[in-house]
Structure 1
Amino acid sequence: MSADLYPAARDLLARLVAFDTTSRGSNLELVEWVEGYLGGLGVPHRRVPNADGSKSNLMATIGPVIAGGVVLSGHTDVVPVDGQPWTSNPFELTEKGERLYGRGTCDMKGFLALALAAAPELAKTAKKPVHLAFSYDEEIGCLGAPSMIAVIRRELPPPAVVVVGEPTNMEAVNGHKGIATFHVTVAGRECHSSQPHLGVSAVMEAVKLMSSLNQLSARLWDEADPASPFTPKGPTLTIGMVSGGTAHNIIARECTFVFDVRSPGPRTPEEIVAPFLAEAAELDRALKARAPEAGVVVELRTNVPPFQPEPDGAAEAFARRMAGDNGPPRVVAFAAEAGQFQQAGFSTVICGPGSIDQAHQPDEFVEIAQMQRGALFMRRLIEWASEAP
């Protein structure tokens, strides 16, 4: 077997981690650097930008443009480090013991680095296509991937499999939950808190709705199918953000909160929260009767489909072969872009280095052993691509 890909992947990971691609900002500096790297290898590439051009997906095809290839998919954005007690610079790769620390090492620049480390040899030897599909804004609702997936469907010969490199300890995963995020705005009427009869407290009305969601969350937990392979087993509902009011002595004019629903299917998030939506509509009418400017607005902001196990899935079989994985079927509770690729008609699997336990944490890390397993995966992929189709 030829040279180990890990040293090159480690160096590439250091370059990728150095780019602050927190979702609230742009990823274009990273995209431009990767374009330069691929251009130096003679690999054609293209951007699929967002509406205002501030962010972009990046696509590339290594090898012949024919059907039957593999897509290596990953997101370039990372979550914030604000307020987290890091003991090293999150945007500088730091090696301690058997771990590589830095924001995105696990989720999921480690996989991007492995794919890029394989590119030089693939550019020389590939007889089957290996497509790179690097997205933006996965962390805030998988917003970037759909436009890139549309281009793949429209412009490329059909690939045989898609590998989404989210952290799974380099084990094949064939299912994930979907996620939908709802933004709720409760409007009231301000007045002095000594005269509550003259106003409408948006905060106190919002608390009623949040209480209902809390009860719904408990019911979902209690009603979960005990045979479900997921942990937690059924749909989950959590309120993640709340904001409202101006001062303790002012009846609040506005209160907003955000909640998410994670469901393995077949029930959609809209079906799950239908009773809450009906309650919100009833409260909206009641508040408007007290003050015309008051009311309730519920917006579905993002909706990522679940990823369902495929009977005899080609992608799962491919990933297991590349990873040397003979373990049992696996699913994960987090959402990813795999459901979007599957929804578009592609056989899909999740398989990448690192553990989701380290994702989004202070001192995020990926174990060197995981990167080495990923390097072996890419070595086998290079050998597979070098064989005539």
Structure 2
Amino acid sequence: MPDETPAPLDPTADSVTLTKAICDIPSVSGDETVLADLVEQALAAASHLELHRDGDTIVARTNLGRERRVVIAGHLDTVPINGNVPTRFETEDGVDYLWGRGTTDMKGGVAVALKLAVELADPVYDVTWMFYDHEEVAADLNGLKRLAEARPDLFEADFAILGESSNGQVEGGCNGTLRVELRATGTRAHTSRPWMGVNAIHALAPALERLAAFEAETVDVEGLAYREGLSAVGIGGGVAGNVVPDEAVLTVNYRFAPSRTVDEAIQAMRTLFPEYDVTVTDASAGARPGLDDPFVQGFLAAVGAEARPKYGWTDVARFSALGVPAVNYGPGDPSLAHTDDERVRLDAILACEIGLRSWLTGA
């Protein structure tokens, strides 16, 4: 049988080649170990880095005694693959792309970080590089959450950058995310005599109508416009094909502006759906932009980027909660994240590498 063990990662390769190699190693949430092992192996070869591993989260740090320390982080996991691994190169309208799962979210950013972590032995700031697991699933499983609880000292920094896709611009803060279940109850009956029961699935109709009519609000936070979103993302119920169901559950995802707290978001759902039993299944606070920090302003100027809001939730919120200003800066169009035609421009990967390299070397 052929050897299916992936080849070692080569951080000396150009960042496009390295992105393809990383993307071609499947690492759906919960299955990051193979990729984490290869990332650790590549970092271990760099004598200027001090390594720490927690599960499938790898941390590599310089200790040069610089006045400032920054964290540069990226998650190793992806959403499930759907015929889009291995990756391939494509040209569309004269633009060269790498096509496949993880190219945008967010292995392009991981490749840039891994390459720079190994190559930059003498950056102008001390750097803590973080490569972590379980970002694409429930917050309780997140590798950074686990690491922050076990080693909060590793998060001490003046600034943090998440390599999430941002079209090469700087996206400040992020929306919060909340998932709730709306539960409706009824009374079972035979479907030949439905009037003798109460159909719980039918009872969800008002909630679905409300969701379909919902108009997303745009909220200004520190000069950036965050657009909210409210979506039905799952529905379940039913006992058998000839039984009126006595219970049905609708799952709703609310993406809320960083000016709102988690408690305020939960209350908004209870107010919008007062007739249902509302159960919170997952909640993560957003993060305010924090772009007024002079150090962050210096980063914006150095990479020549425009400040924009981040609509999706990212781990900038985790750093923000610890008092560390954090932004998203990475290659790729975030609107392509999680899609089956996920792809990233090759020049975007190279531009992100150039921007970070210039800033970290003071060029």
Task: Give your verdict on TM over 0.5.
Answer: yes
Partner of 1:252: 245
2:78 counterpart residue number: 78
Determine if contact 1:242/1:256 at 8 Å carries over to the other structure.
Answer: yes
Residues in 1 aligned to 2:219 and 2:153: alpha-carbon distance in whole angstroms: 41
Question: Runs of 5+ in structure 1 lacking a partner?
Answer: 50-55, 281-295
State how far apart, in whole Å, the 2-side matches of 1:323 and 1:141 are: 32
Residue 307 of structure 1, CA deviation: 1.8
- Give CA deviations for 1:124-165 in whole Å, capped at 9, x if unaligned: 33464211122322223444132233455x323831110011
How many equivalent pairs are there?
342
Whether 2:331 is the aligned partner of 1:334: answer no
The letter of the residue matching 1:47 is R
CA change 1:200–1:130 in 2 (3 A) is same
Give the fraction of aligned pairs with identical amino acids, expressed as a percent: 22
Give yes or no for contact 1:173–1:316 (8 Å, CA) kept in 2. no
* Preserved CA contact (<8 Å) 2:70 2:127: yes
Contact 2:148/2:155, CA 8 A, preserved across alignment: no
Partner of 1:211: 209
Tell me the equivalent position of 1:92. Answer: 86
Matched residue SS, 1:306: coil
Whole-Å Cα distance in 1 between the matches of residues 247 and 65 of structure 2? 54
Higher helix share: 1
CA RMSD in angstroms, aligned pairs only:
2.8
Equivalent residue in structure 2 for 1:347, among 321, 325, 350: 325
TM-score normalised per structure 2 = 0.84
Match of 1:58 in 2: 58
Equivalents in 1 of 2:146, 2:67: separation in Å? Answer: 20
CA displacement at 1:17 relative to structure 2: 0.9
1:130 to 127, 131, 150: 127
Per-residue Cα deviation, 1:46-66 (whole angstroms, up to 9, x for no partner): 2334xxxxxx33222134376
TM-score if structure 1 supplies the norm length?
Answer: 0.78
Deviation at 1:229, TM superposition (A): 4.0
Query: Which amino acid in the other structure matches residue 347 of structure 2?
Result: A
Which runs of structure 2 are paired with 1:146-295 in the superposition (5 Å)? Answer: 146-151=145-150, 154-156=152-154, 158-214=156-212, 217-218=214-215, 221=217, 229-230=224-225, 232=227, 235-267=228-260, 268-276=264-272, 278-280=274-276
Output the CA distance in 2 between the equivalents of 1:371 and 1:315.
24
Q: Is the Cα–Cα contact under 8 Å of residues 16 and 350 in structure 2 kept in the other structure? A: no
Where 1:95 maps in the other structure, the secondary structure is strand
Bigger share in strand: 2
User: Is contact 1:163–1:348 with CA below 8 Å preserved after alignment?
Assistant: yes
Say which is worse superposed, 365-374 or 329-338, in terms of deviation.
329-338
Q: Is the 8 A contact 1:66 1:157 kept in 2?
A: no
Displacement, 1:375?
1.7
Aligned to 1:9: 15
CA offset at residue 236 of structure 1?
Answer: 2.4
